[in-house]
Structure formats: structure tokens, C-alpha cells
């Protein structure tokens, strides 16, 4: 898989809230469903891990169900909620497995983790689960009660800032934990 293709799929995914916002202002919501299908198909092809594909599949099924029940516009706006829910299920269920998702990622860089590091990765997994609950809840609130502008601002900007903040905070904490 070429790096250009992967970057293109990522950019389309990150731009999704802006594309939906613009599309809902300019077109019938039904015309945006093929666009979402294309974005999901690109992510499916670019996703090399089964975890990526599970999130994509669950999100696509969820969008379809919500679109059938509450309408296409709500289905489109609930995509970020469904991604958060899928990630919560993946990270949360890994807490009951031998290795958490975060531990698996940590072992890529450091295959021989000491017991303290394994405990740390388990706690980081819990923090990410809490984040997915909070982020998904706010995202759902913006989809149900917020204006389209509020939905786009949160899901296309603020949520990404919060993800970056959490990643940076975890990195800082990890450096301190390693020193001690």
C-alpha cells in the first residue's frame, strides 16, 4: 500500500466533519452517503490491521442503522460517535485479554516490557476508554442537540485537539514513570 494512498485516506477521514457540514449546506443528505462509503472503502483498503477494519465495519453498519431509524442526516452526523464507541469496545475488551491494545502497541517498540510497564499500559488503556466515553458522549450531544456548526467545530477540530492533548499528556507521564 503506497504511503500517498494511506495519507489520502487519513486526510479524507480527518476532513469528514467539514465535508459533511459543507455537503449538508449544499446538497441533499442522501448524496453524501456515497461519499461516506468511498471514505470507508479507502480506509478499509488502507487499514492493515483487523482492528482498523472492525472499527470501519461497525461504523458503517451503525451509520446505516441510524440513517434508517432517524434519517440520513443523523446517520452522517453519528459517524464520529460510532467510531468512538467502536474504539471503546476494542480498548475496553482488551482489558479482559492477556494484552491490552496499548500494551501491544508498546511491545512494537519495546518487546520485553517489565511488569510495571504492563501495569502502566493497562492504566493507559483505561484512560483511553474513559476518553472514548467522554468524547463519544459529547459528539452524540452535538449530533442530537447542537447546530451543524457546533457539530462540525467539535467533531472536526476540538475532538482532534483533545486527542492530541491526551497523547501528549500520556507521553509526558510515561517519561516521568520511566525515570522513576
Tens of pLDDT along 38-88? 777 776 676 666 666 777 777 778 888 888 899 888 888 998 998 899 889
Q: How many CB atoms lie within 10 A of CB 32?
A: 21
The low-confidence residues of the chain, meaning pLDDT below 50, are none
Distances (CA, A) of 11 to 32, 82, 84: 17, 19, 18
The predicted model scores a pTM of 0.82
Check: CB of residue 163 under 8 Å from CB of residue 170.
no
Amino acid at each position: 500500500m503506497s504511503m500517498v494512498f494511506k495519507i489520502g485516506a487519513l486526510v479524507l477521514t480527518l476532513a469528514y466533519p467539514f465535508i459533511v457540514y459543507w455537503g449538508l449546506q449544499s446538497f441533499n443528505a442522501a448524496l453524501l452517503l456515497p461519499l461516506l462509503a468511498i471514505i470507508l472503502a479507502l480506509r478499509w483498503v488502507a487499514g492493515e490491521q483487523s482492528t482498523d477494519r472492525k472499527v470501519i465495519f461497525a461504523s458503517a453498519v451503525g451509520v446505516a442503522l441510524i440513517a434508517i431509524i432517524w434519517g440520513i442526516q443523523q446517520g452522517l452526523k453519528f459517524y464520529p460517535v460510532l467510531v468512538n464507541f467502536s474504539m471503546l469496545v476494542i480498548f475496553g475488551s482488551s482489558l479482559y485479554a492477556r494484552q491490552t491494545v496499548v500494551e501491544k502497541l508498546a511491545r512494537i517498540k519495546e518487546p520485553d516490557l517489565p511488569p510495571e510497564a504492563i501495569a502502566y499500559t493497562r492504566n493507559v488503556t483505561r484512560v483511553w476508554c474513559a476518553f472514548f466515553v467522554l468524547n463519544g458522549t459529547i459528539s452524540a450531544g452535538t449530533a442530537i442537540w447542537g447546530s451543524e456548526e457546533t457539530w462540525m467545530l467539535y467533531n472536526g477540530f476540538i475532538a482532534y485537539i483533545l486527542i492530541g492533548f491526551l497523547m501528549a499528556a500520556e507521553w509526558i507521564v510515561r517519561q516521568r514513570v520511566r525515570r522513576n
